[in-house]
Amino acid sequence: MPNRKYFLLTGDSLSIDELRYPGSGEWRNPDLVWPDDHAWFIGTDVDFWSLYVGGSLKMIQEIESQFGGSCRRVNFSDKLVVEN
């Protein structure tokens, strides 16, 4: 099993784009983001060009209104689409 490091981060959710590798200015893309209250969840994978967001219906509708056709709803049973 690879040696993984986990970090507990605090702050505003919009500051996630400010994450940097320690000792470097290079942006750090988190794989999983889940706040303490578990109100929403973000998951991604380095091998896919997708970002998965889970949350309340109101939150999902807000994301859809902001990003339109670049997002779509999926179910747990849906398979990941391999992109070129």
- 79 located within any domain: no
- 80 located within any domain: no
pLDDT digits (tens, 9 = 90+) for 23-82: 777 877 777 888 888 888 888 876 767 788 899 999 889 988 988 778 888 888 888 777
- 34 located within any domain: yes
| pLDDT at 5 (0 to 100) | 62
How far are the Cα atoms of 2, 5, 12, 24 from residue 21, in angstroms, in the given order? 18, 12, 18, 5
Number of domains comprising the chain:
1
- 25 located within any domain: yes
Which residue segment(s) compose the domain that 20 sits in? 13-70
Specify the DSSP class assigned to residue 36: T
- 51 located within any domain: yes
- 53 located within any domain: yes
pLDDT digits (tens, 9 = 90+) for 15-29: 777 777 777 778 777
- 59 located within any domain: yes
Q: What is the pTM of this model?
A: 0.62
- 37 located within any domain: yes
